[in-house]
């Protein structure tokens, strides 16, 4: 069942007007919230980010925080299953096509549930390949906008070259993946770029930083020059749906020993423990 503007509908009946500004302009924002053992992971942080994205693009938040939580609960109850993710999208709404905001417009609210497939055995033992490509996105990558054309093209370029993800470079700095945040290990220190307008502040990223610090692993939030990627001992990519992917080949060359590294094994275990603690609560 899909949630659309206050109703729960089967997928084939959940329809939106072709004049929806999400369809015409990509004028909207979204969230993806992973759900493990029936419990949303860091729901509060995801709802904070949704509220922030909406405020940044000046769409009035259509629901209170409490009503968002109720909607997500109800949607999960209507879509039972194992590990899942909730996709939430808000667009500016339906109006005759004109770039400027129409007056008196109701946002379109849609939410659906998708299964999550955690990284399989092969990924955990062998890691994944990534390619480095130029970042062609706009300058507000901190907003989780549905306008994802440059991300789509970047991911496809990665897939076309046999890789799992693209690592994006802007002004000589590696910022993040097409749909993931970037970490590397250099001189034994975990490094990730600071949150600014050049990347999306990932909830998995923040959780990983928190878990690492709480467990005595050194973390530095600092910019990553493109040329430090090749010498990195380890590279990881994080996201809500793919957890912490170890990158073992970059542009066809081995990263470190060419297998998932020891620091990755440690943070992967911490993340799995965190997920397990959600299930037990």
Residue 151 CB, nearest approach to ligand PMP (Å): 6
Alpha helices in 114-225 (DSSP H): 121-126, 149-160, 203-214
Q: In angstroms, what CA-CA distances link 98 with 19, 53, 102?
A: 10, 22, 8
Does 89 participate in binding ligand PMP (rule CB under 6 A)?
no
What is the token pair recorded at 108?
């379109």
Task: Check: CB of residue 256 under 8 Å from CB of residue 232.
Answer: yes
Neighbour tally for 262: CB within 10 Å = 12
Residue 181 CB, nearest approach to ligand PMP (Å): 5
Q: Which of residues 27 and 31 has its CB atom nearest to ligand PMP in the complex?
A: 31
Does 180 participate in binding ligand PMP (rule CB under 6 A)?
yes
Residue 145 CB, nearest approach to ligand PMP (Å): 10
Q: In angstroms, what CA-CA distances link 89 with 44, 68, 101, 121, 228?
A: 17, 12, 18, 32, 36
Please identify the residue of the shown chain whose CB is closest to the bound ligand PMP.
Answer: 202
Task: Check: CB of residue 103 under 8 Å from CB of residue 71.
Answer: no
Q: Which of residues 6-35 bind ligand PMP (CB under 6 A)?
A: 32
Q: Which of residues 30-59 bind ligand PMP (CB under 6 A)?
A: 32
Binding mask 200-239 for ligand PMP (x = CB under 6 A): x-xxxx--------------------------------xx
Q: Which of residues 41 and 129 has its CB atom nearest to ligand PMP in the complex?
A: 41
* 275 counts as catalytic: no
Residue with tokens 């802007």: 170
Q: Which of residues 104 and 214 has its CB atom nearest to ligand PMP in the complex?
A: 214
Residues in a beta bridge with 244: 238
How far is residue 19's CA from residue 98's CA, in Å, rounded to a whole number? 10
- Residues assigned a catalytic role: 144
**What are the residues binding ligand PMP (CB under 6 A)?**
32, 151, 176, 179-181, 200, 202-205, 238-240
């Amino acid at each position: 069942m899909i949630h659309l503007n206050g109703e729960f509908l089967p997928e084939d009946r959940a329809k939106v007007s072709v004049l929806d500004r999400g369809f015409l302009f990509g004028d909207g924002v979204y969230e993806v919230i992973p759900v493990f053992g029936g419990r949303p992971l860091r729901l509060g942080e995801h709802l904070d980010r949704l509220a922030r994205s909406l405020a940044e693009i000046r769409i009035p938040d259509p629901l209170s925080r409490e009503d968002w939580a109720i909607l997500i609960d109800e949607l999960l109850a209507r879509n039972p299953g194992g590990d899942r993710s909730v996709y939430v999208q808000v667009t500016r709404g339906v109006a005759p096509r004109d770039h400027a905001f129409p007056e008196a417009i109701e946002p379109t609210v849609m939410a659906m549930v998708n299964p999550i497939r955690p990284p399989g055995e092969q990924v955990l033992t062998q890691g994944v390949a990534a390619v480095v490509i130029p970042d062609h996105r706009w300058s507000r990558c901190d907003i989780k906008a549905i306008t994802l054309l440059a991300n789509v093209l970047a991911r496809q370029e990665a897939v076309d070259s046999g890789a799992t993800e693209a690592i994006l470079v802007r002004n000589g700095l590696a910022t993040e993946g097409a749909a993931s945040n970037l970490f590397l290990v250099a001189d034994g220190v975990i490094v990730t770029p600071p949150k600014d307008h050049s990347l999306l502040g990932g909830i998995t990223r923040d959780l990983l930083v928190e878990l690492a610090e709480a467990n005595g692993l050194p973390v530095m939030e600092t910019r990553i020059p493109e040329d430090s990627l090749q010498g990195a001992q380890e590279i990881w990519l994080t996201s809500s749906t793919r957890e912490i992917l170890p990158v073992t080949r970059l542009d066809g060359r081995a990263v470190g020993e060419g297998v998932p590294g020891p620091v990755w094994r440690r943070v992967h275990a911490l993340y799995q423990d965190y997920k397990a603690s959600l299930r037990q609560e």
